[in-house]
A and B are shown apart, each in its own frame.
Chain A
Amino acid sequence: MSDTQTAELTTVTLPSLGSDMDYGSVVSWEVAVGDRVERGDVVAIVETEKADVDVEVWSSGIVVELLAPLGEELPVGAPLLTIDRTEAAIDASSPSEPVTTETAKESPAIELDPTQAHPEPAPTPTPTGPPLPKPTHRGSASRVAATPWARRAAEQREVSLDSIRGSGPDGAVLARDLPRLDQATPSSSQPPRAERIEPPLRADRSIRAVIARRMTEANRTIPHYHLQRDIDVSDMLDALEEHNRARPIADRVLPAAVVLWAVARAASAVPALNGTWVDDSFQPSSTVDLAVAISLRSGGVVTPMIAGAELLDVSETMRELRLRTSGARRGALRSSWMAEASITVTNLGDLGADRVSGIIFPPQVALVGIGRIHRAPWVVDERVEPRSVLTATLSADHRATDGVVGSRFLAELDRHLQLAFDTQEET
């Protein structure tokens, strides 16, 4: 601790990286001691088994000390760096630094480049949709298990992952297993003999093992109840097609985004399902922080969150969904996306399942499963018609709510899916 009488030091800790990521390693500092940081700035990149996470800060100030050793595996909550938040310290630093205002939650994921020590402040996303990422995975493809960061770093240094013995779970190659940049040669095969102490043996931390533990725990402790509702989305799809026809492809909206939009509004209308169960009581959330389950093809699921999702319109929801999906695909997430959500949607219907009856991510109390949109016979004005239908399934925690609340939620979801584009036209 500094003994400066006026210093107002804040320690930035390793943030929660999602419900099944307990550990991470700082692989890159995006700031140096003495740098001024603004709320929302990315200060470090943390490697996890699933993805690289850009760690953002939540207060402005001057970087006083970098605490976390590079490459060392740290638990969530471990101190990363300290920031001095006093005005004096901030004024003393170069005031000409670019100040990004209101970048906190909505900035797009920055392009990850291990060689880029000081990325420009993330630009505000344009309304024409986020740009696609630059290709980062060219050539030297390999099936060796490795974290996204290690894979990228290996390609950049022209090191073959096959030649490296990984020290991660199941032998996965981590960044620390790679030869240092200045020693890297294409034929380099000797992992650096780490003089550091290996992390003590703990329980298996492979993605599969962590999911197994978490889901078992959730299933054991949460008394789930499940409610389903078939929803006619034909009118919504017609309106969506109309909406999309007038727009360039980059601005098109997918049904999945409309569903997210409707879930956020339903959760706002039925707040008893929007929050967390902590210490034997329900803690409602003041905003709908909507997590979206995105499956990783390498195995496992990430659930990046859209904060304040009930305030977004359909196009904004689509933009946020797109940022998170492409981030998950590239293995590049932002820490603000990984904060605690208040409700989660899983949209497996996209891959063909009719109904999804899922397990709640604790400490949340509800999970909404969206099934495949399919053509089905539907009774309209006493006649059977082919319509486009999806089945929404609510998994809810019976400690927090009863079925009547869940039913109201599904009715609200249906109602909002019917009027999604009515409200859009007004704005």
Chain B
Amino acid sequence: MTAPSSNPSSGATGPAAMEATVIDAFVLVAPDIEDELRNLSIDADVFATLDLDSMDHLNVMTELATRTGVEIPEREYPRLRSVRALAERLDAA
């Protein structure tokens, strides 16, 4: 969030790939709002903007843990509410 992330590179790894992974996880959990998810700014608070509830939140985190092998501790959740924030956190792990 505070890290001055440069434009996503086009490589298969790194922030851009991780952002795609994060968006995919959201789409899997909330397929009914796929359009909105894909059109949302990667800096937007996904949960507040699209009315995702605590169960959706847990499901997204579970899916990301499955895909990346990174389990983010609960106390970090409040900081990680945008696609970019989640991708950077997972990428740094």
Contact = CB atoms under 8 A, between A and B. Distances in A.
Interface stretch (A119-127, A321-329, A355-363): A321-329
Contacts of A252: 58, 74
Contacts of B33: 297
Interface residues of A, number: 30
Interface in A304-321: 321
Contact of A132 (B38, B51, B62, B74): B62
Interface of B: 24, 27-35, 38, 50-51, 53-56, 58-59, 61-63, 65-66, 71, 74
A82 to B, nearest CB: 36
A325 B31 contact: no
Given A252-B58, A254-B55, A330 B74 contact: no
Interface in A215-244: 241, 244
A199 interface: no
Nearest to B63: A132
Nearest to A248: B71
Interface of A: 129, 132-133, 135-138, 141, 143, 241, 244, 248-250, 252, 254-256, 296-298, 321-322, 325-326, 329-331, 350-351
Q: Is the interface of B mostly helix, strand, loop or mixed?
A: helix
A249 B29 contact: no
A321 B53 CA distance: 13
Question: Which 8 A-B pairs have CB atoms at the shortest separation, nearest pair first?
Answer: A137-B31, A350-B53, A325-B55, A141-B35, A249-B65, A249-B62, A254-B54, A135-B28
B37 to A, nearest CB: 10
A222 to B, nearest CB: 27
A212 B70 CA distance: 46
A72 B51 CA distance: 35
Contacts of A297: 30, 32-33, 50-51
